Chains A and B, each alone.
Chain A
């Protein structure tokens, strides 16, 4: 079905459910219908890059800095937000971090997630191609539920089914401390992604996947050699990536330059980002875009 027909029939871009005209959100998956409007204006379906990761791994902050850097034309990128709603996420992240606070947790409800629709171009000598990118900021708890019980969140299922690639965020600081938890979560997550991406039994998934080792400022050796860090500290993840994914790379990233802690009004210990020093934010995105460039648009 042509994208313009999809718009008139209000078919959701994510889960393909037909919605009544004038609907704001998809009745099945909760994705905003304004995405379809944007896609119709562009006369092409956007390529979706999904950002996956556990709760508190820093998906929102990573995505906020990524979008902000893109809109500042960092790293030879040019990015244009399509619609004011696309700017809300980066505005929220940057405003909070500038005030030395982390942004609020992404709500569990799909209709409260922030979505960013950007046109992005990397103006290097080899390419002058614009990408329509859809970058949703999903709640980590929702992803965890979806992994345990697939189809709980149709938005996630639909997103992954339509994704050209994925950025998988892993908490390197917790992994470096010796906890097996990030490795187990990553193993479950990659098993789930494998099921969504794999084309046939025995075949490796070809969609590019960038494994981003977050909070790497806590373990600087992660920046020295992300692959070696993953093989040592996230061995289960490393093994499934080698076995099941043909197009995977490891990166280290951090956004906070220094972290303190304080008690809040309810005497809970809360982290305080003393200042921001984003590092390794663009590299995984650039890598994944290069890989997607070689793939035909869906």
Chain B
């Protein structure tokens, strides 16, 4: 099984919707009928790592072996290996030369090539995940009732009647809190990347004799034609497969721009005087900048910021990760 490491799969740039999106009519995504067979249903929901984790359950299933193998292939095609390395996390809001930093070693791991799309998140909503308390930490249960769309149905903030806009099926899901992102990742048998892992994927400071890193996934200089930030002049999200020229060496797309990405961890920054930055509730780290990020210095692989964990904003999405230890199919391949 070939691992996507240094090979770049040729991508076709997805259609970028022009004009003002709000002026276009909302087209609700059609309801997908789920197979009655649980294994086939998991395949439909693209919960590939769940299928593999529970493969012993499918031993008697007539399609069990084939679908497990297929799940591994599918998962391998949508994730990329990020090699071991070391990242340096700034500790102060102004990351000037000489400012405190912390070095973190990163083990190799797998990262989704694309951010999670509306179409993918639709399956999570359709599965009734907002009512499945096992997916959510107990502390968040009282807040689940507020995680509603424009019409009061469970789902991302900008959806209607529990459906996403079909025109935005391939755009990253936005309007979800950190808890919703983490619950989705758990539901598909994965997790959110840590802040250090995300930075490793975006800066590629791999373990080697030479201490090299890049500020952006594609190199060391900002190039607004390789990402969707304010200066790109688009003004809204684009499909997750757009900007193939902005890919990291392993093919991971849009680590910079389009949407901020929730990562696993609290934002622990201080002022230059060492006073902690706080908010009225926990600030979870977000990385990478979004379509409306104004300053190019704030859309890099190194820039650290965050949002309050319950924020459900128009410019925050996420992607999922997987530890090598949680990917038996990958261990076998290696």
A, B from the same assembly: yes
B192 an interface residue at 8 Å Cβ cutoff? Answer: no
Q: Cβ of A274 and Cβ of B277 under 8 Å apart? A: yes
| Nearest-Cβ distance from residue A102 to partner chain B, whole angstroms | 12
**What sequence of 0s and 1s flags, for each residue 258-299 of chain B, a beta carbon within 8 Å of any chain A beta carbon?**
000000000101110101111100010010011011110110
Which B-chain residue is minimally distant from A258 (CB atoms)?
Answer: B307
Q: Cβ of B305 and Cβ of A263 under 8 Å apart? A: no
| Nearest-Cβ distance from residue A213 to partner chain B, whole angstroms | 16
8 Å CB contacts to B: which residues of A264-298?
A: 264-265, 272, 274-279
Q: Cβ of B271 and Cβ of A272 under 8 Å apart? A: yes
User: Once bound together, how far apart are the Cα atoms of A287 and B185, in whole Å?
Assistant: 43
B188 an interface residue at 8 Å Cβ cutoff? Answer: no
In the A-B complex, list the 7 residue pairs whose CB atoms are closest, starting with the nearest: A260-B277, A274-B305, A276-B294, A262-B275, A277-B292, A275-B298, A275-B305
Q: Cβ of B279 and Cβ of A260 under 8 Å apart? A: yes
Which A-chain residue is minimally distant from B290 (CB atoms)?
Answer: A277
Residues of B within 8 A of A259 (CB): 279
Residues of A within 8 A of B298 (CB): 98, 275-276
Additional 5 contacts, C-beta under 8 A, given A258-B305, A264-B271: A97-B295, A98-B298, A100-B93, A258-B286, A265-B273
Which A-chain residue is minimally distant from B230 (CB atoms)?
Answer: A278
Q: Cβ of B306 and Cβ of A258 under 8 Å apart? A: yes
A220-B312, A220-B313 given as contacts; is B292 within 8 A of A278 (CB)? Answer: yes
8 Å CB contacts to A: which residues of B197-217?
A: none
**Interface contact tally, CB-CB below 8 A:** 79
B35 an interface residue at 8 Å Cβ cutoff? Answer: no
Chain A interface residues toward B at CB < 8 A: 65, 72, 74, 97-100, 217, 220, 223-224, 257-265, 272, 274-279
Residues of B within 8 A of A276 (CB): 293-295, 298
Residues of B within 8 A of A264 (CB): 271, 273, 275
Q: Cβ of A272 and Cβ of B93 under 8 Å apart? A: yes
B228 an interface residue at 8 Å Cβ cutoff? Answer: no
Which A-chain residue is minimally distant from B307 (CB atoms)?
Answer: A258
B315 an interface residue at 8 Å Cβ cutoff? Answer: yes
Residues of B within 8 A of A265 (CB): 273
Which A-chain residue is minimally distant from B231 (CB atoms)?
Answer: A72
Q: Out of B231, B275, B293, name the residue touching A263 (CB < 8 Å).
A: B275
B157 an interface residue at 8 Å Cβ cutoff? Answer: yes
User: Once bound together, how far apart are the Cα atoms of A278 and B294, in whole Å?
Assistant: 7
B324 an interface residue at 8 Å Cβ cutoff? Answer: no
| Nearest-Cβ distance from residue B16 to partner chain A, whole angstroms | 18
A220-B157, A220-B313, A265-B273 given as contacts; is B292 within 8 A of A279 (CB)? Answer: yes
- Give 22 A-B contacts (CB < 8 Å), ordered by A residue: A97-B295, A100-B94, A217-B313, A257-B293, A258-B286, A259-B279, A260-B267, A260-B306, A262-B276, A262-B277, A262-B278, A274-B267, A274-B277, A275-B289, A275-B295, A275-B303, A275-B305, A276-B295, A276-B298, A277-B292, A277-B294, A278-B294
User: Once bound together, how far apart are the Cα atoms of A278 and B277, in whole Å?
Assistant: 21
B77 an interface residue at 8 Å Cβ cutoff? Answer: no
Q: Main secondary structure on chain B at its contact with chain A?
A: loop
| Nearest-Cβ distance from residue B157 to partner chain A, whole angstroms | 7
Chain B interface residues toward A at CB < 8 A: 93-94, 150, 157, 230-231, 233, 267, 269-271, 273, 275-279, 283, 286, 289-290, 292-295, 297-298, 303, 305-308, 311-315
User: Once bound together, how far apart are the Cα atoms of A224 and B149, in whole Å?
Assistant: 12
Which A-chain residue is minimally distant from B299 (CB atoms)?
Answer: A275
User: Once bound together, how far apart are the Cα atoms of A223 and B312, in whole Å?
Assistant: 13
| Nearest-Cβ distance from residue A115 to partner chain B, whole angstroms | 24
Residues of A within 8 A of B270 (CB): 262
| Nearest-Cβ distance from residue A76 to partner chain B, whole angstroms | 10
Q: Cβ of B278 and Cβ of A261 under 8 Å apart? A: yes
User: Once bound together, how far apart are the Cα atoms of A265 and B273, in whole Å?
Assistant: 8
Residues of A within 8 A of B307 (CB): 257-258
User: Once bound together, how far apart are the Cα atoms of A282 and B219, in whole Å?
Assistant: 32
Residues of B within 8 A of A260 (CB): 267, 269, 277-279, 283, 306
User: Once bound together, how far apart are the Cα atoms of A253 and B150, in whole Å?
Assistant: 20
User: Once bound together, how far apart are the Cα atoms of A278 and B271, in whole Å?
Assistant: 23
| Nearest-Cβ distance from residue B94 to partner chain A, whole angstroms | 6
| Nearest-Cβ distance from residue A70 to partner chain B, whole angstroms | 14
Which B-chain residue is minimally distant from A223 (CB atoms)?
Answer: B314
Which A-chain residue is minimally distant from B274 (CB atoms)?
Answer: A262
Q: Cβ of A98 and Cβ of B230 under 8 Å apart? A: no
User: Once bound together, how far apart are the Cα atoms of A263 and B295, in whole Å?
Assistant: 25
Q: Cβ of A272 and Cβ of B277 under 8 Å apart? A: yes
User: Once bound together, how far apart are the Cα atoms of A220 and B146, in whole Å?
Assistant: 13
Which A-chain residue is minimally distant from B298 (CB atoms)?
Answer: A275
| Nearest-Cβ distance from residue B216 to partner chain A, whole angstroms | 16
Residues of A within 8 A of B286 (CB): 258
Q: Cβ of A275 and Cβ of B293 under 8 Å apart? A: yes
| Nearest-Cβ distance from residue A137 to partner chain B, whole angstroms | 19
Residues of B within 8 A of A217 (CB): 313
Residues of B within 8 A of A74 (CB): 233
Residues of A within 8 A of B289 (CB): 275
| Nearest-Cβ distance from residue B280 to partner chain A, whole angstroms | 8
Residues of A within 8 A of B313 (CB): 217, 220
